[in-house]
Amino acid sequence: MTALSDLLGDVVSGVEGAFLFSPSSSHYERFVDADLDVDLVVVAPENAVGAETFVELPLEFDNVRDRIRFGIEGALEQDLVEEGDNVACSVRVFDGDPDGVVRVRIDESMRSGIYDLFANSRADPGVIRDVFEVAIELGKKGQKGKPVGALFVVGDAGKVMNKSRPLSYNPFEKSHVHVGDPIVNVMLKEFSRLDGAFVISDSGKIVSAYRYLEPAAEGVDIPKGLGARHMAAAAITRDTNATAIVLSESDGLVRAFKSGQIILEIDPEEY
């Protein structure tokens, strides 16, 4: 007789690591006490259980796939896992106790740069996520069916404003609106048809649209073929502590820049 646990147990057989996503203290203690022959990694917004090996999640992602992807990428950043490792992720899909186990084979291609973007940007991770999502959505749908480009400069807004000038009146002049608000997201998409950059504060306030960026660009090295928008995006992140998220009108990719470097390149269609 084969028991169900024999069949489902395959999910965890031979794994090198166990990733516990936001475990309760008692759940975590049970794993520690079991003294398993696998590496134990806690992945959560904060290390509430005092785990020895811990990966910080920049956000509590609702989507389990995103949550796992970030946890794994964070572990790769910390060299806790490597190509070819198999790990079992214990996650919560519904409320209550952990109710799912997902086996993941570690692959270097999982190191996309997105973890770095969220964990190490100056702006709030939630703000980065909201802007990133607007860029992805614009990339998928375009504006009225036509491909559109956009440049969002997030964080360190005062300095960014000092290194830029208005191309037109600022529609966000006296408003106090924030990214993530559905109406604001519609506005961002609408205004993306026009020239220049959006400037967004660390906390997500839209400071300005239509900014022409004038950062010093010497020494900025970005891949050949990218034009003025991408050059301006890279350069402003070298000159300030901002992160830039760019949707290219010509190739449809979303790229992120920090400290003058490209840190992420994603095809919205595959995200």
Query: For binding to ligand ATP (CB under 6 A), which residues are involved?
Result: 149, 151, 195-197, 212-213, 226-230, 232, 248-250
Min dist CB 66 to ligand ATP, Å, is 26
CA dihedral over 146, 149, 155, 160, signed as positive or negative: negative
* Alpha helices (runs of H) in 81-167, residue ranges in sequence order: 114-119, 125-141, 157-162
Instruction: Say how far apart CA 57 and CA 200 lie, in whole Å.
Output: 23
Min dist CB 226 to ligand ATP, Å, is 5
Give the CA dihedral 219, 223, 226, 230, nearest 10 degrees: -50
Q: Which of 25, 162, 168, 250 binds Mn ion (CB under 5 A)?
A: 250
| Cβ 251 vs Cβ 147: under 8 Å | no
Residue written as tokens 């190509």? 83
227 lies in the binding site for Mn ion (CB under 5 A):
yes
Interaction partner, residue 212 (Mn ion, ligand ATP, none; CB < 5-8 Å by kind): ligand ATP
Q: Helices 182-191 and 125-141, interaxial angle, to 10°? A: 50
Interaction partner, residue 139 (ligand ATP, Mn ion, none; CB < 5-8 Å by kind): none
* Amino acid type, 37: D
Min dist CB 151 to Mn ion, Å, is 12
**Closer to ligand ATP by Cβ: residue 67 or 211:** 211
Interaction partner, residue 129 (Mn ion, ligand ATP, none; CB < 5-8 Å by kind): none
Judged by the rule CB under 5 A, the positions of this chain that interact with Mn ion are: 227, 250
